[in-house]
Amino acid sequence: MYHSPVMLKECIEGLAITAGGFYVDVTFGGGGHTRAILEALPEGKVIAFDQDEDARQNLPSDERLIFVNQNFRHLKRYLKLYCIEKIDGLLADLGVSSYQIDQPEKGFSTRFEGHLDMRMDSRKSLTAAEIVNSYDEEQLSNLFYLYGELNQSRKIAKAIVTKRAEKSIATTSELAEIIRRFAPRNLENKVLAQAFQAIRIEVNDELGSLKEMLSQCAEVIKPGGRLVVMSYHSLEDRLVKNFIKTGNFEGVPEKDFYGNLIAPFDQVNRKIILASDEEIERNPRARSAKLRIAERRGE
């Protein structure tokens, strides 16, 4: 089973669905959000992206749905392929699904013994094992610091390089054993999660993909259309927030000759939307979710 869709009601309301529209769910996963869009759409089309081949098993039988088994960084290319110039809204539920985390062979979780893989798209060549065993000490240190926000990044990188000189690091438990030594008492799970997150982001180029997709949104979403993005860690959320507020990823406002802000979107929600206590109790994954909604400005 894939995870239950987080903040489903809030996401669908955020899209402001209109009859006959074209909508994109760039993170199909278990299909919960896509099904809800279809239910709220009397007529129109939904294009769903997911780079994980396993997502196909969740496809509903609906002629209004087009499924694209690709990374969402190829958004514009596939819209063009299906002769769709502009869309009315786009939804992105970022992060890893519970299904992917619970598959030991994918190597995403420290809870299971598995190979160091972490690929969301099994067709790609770069794996977590290759990163852990071939990146030099400085590369690993930067990776853990930038993507995992770990203060012990240098020590962890050095320990990995020392250990792999004896024997290649092949499994999640072998890597976890090395990292665990540098975690403060009672924070072992948090540090392990941050370290694994860092490697996963690198394997899948998650931040690069997100930047490409968001940049394309400014071109493909029609004026008045909605952008709805749910993120689960600060690195993603910072990119989304900056892009919505300023139109760039650095968060530096740029103004035209008349002093007007140059940005393709307006914020719909000034404050981050968070899951309710009831939802978090029902679905713990919702605890870290941050939802942002924006509307495409007129041209």
Q: Using 50, 70 and 90 to split pLDDT, how confident is the model at 298?
A: confident
- Give 156-186 pLDDT, tens digit per residue: 999 999 999 999 999 999 999 999 999 998 9
Identify the structural domains of the chain with CATH numbers, from first to last: 8-98+206-296 (3.40.50.150), 107-204 (1.10.150.170)
CA 228 to chain centroid, in Å, comes to 12
- Give 108-119 pLDDT, tens digit per residue: 666 667 899 999
Proportion of the chain above pLDDT 70, given as a percent: 93
- Give 193-244 pLDDT, tens digit per residue: 999 999 999 999 999 999 999 999 999 999 999 999 999 999 999 999 999 9
Whole-model pTM? 0.92
What is the C-alpha separation between 218 and 132, in angstroms, rounded?
36
Q: Using 50, 70 and 90 to split pLDDT, how confident is the model at 101?
A: low
What is the C-alpha separation between 181 and 134, in angstroms, rounded?
22
Q: What are the strands of the beta sheet with 65-68, ordered from one edge?
A: 65-68, 45-49, 22-25, 87-93, 221-231, 290-296, 265-267
Q: Using 50, 70 and 90 to split pLDDT, how confident is the model at 42?
A: confident
Is the pLDDT assigned to residue 104 strictly greater than 60? Answer: no
Lowest-pLDDT range of 47-61, 160-174, 254-268: 254-268
Task: Spell out the long-range contacts of 273-279 with Cβ–Cβ below 8 A and sequence spacing 24 or more.
Answer: 273/7, 273/10, 275/6, 275/7, 279/6, 279/7
pLDDT at 99: 62
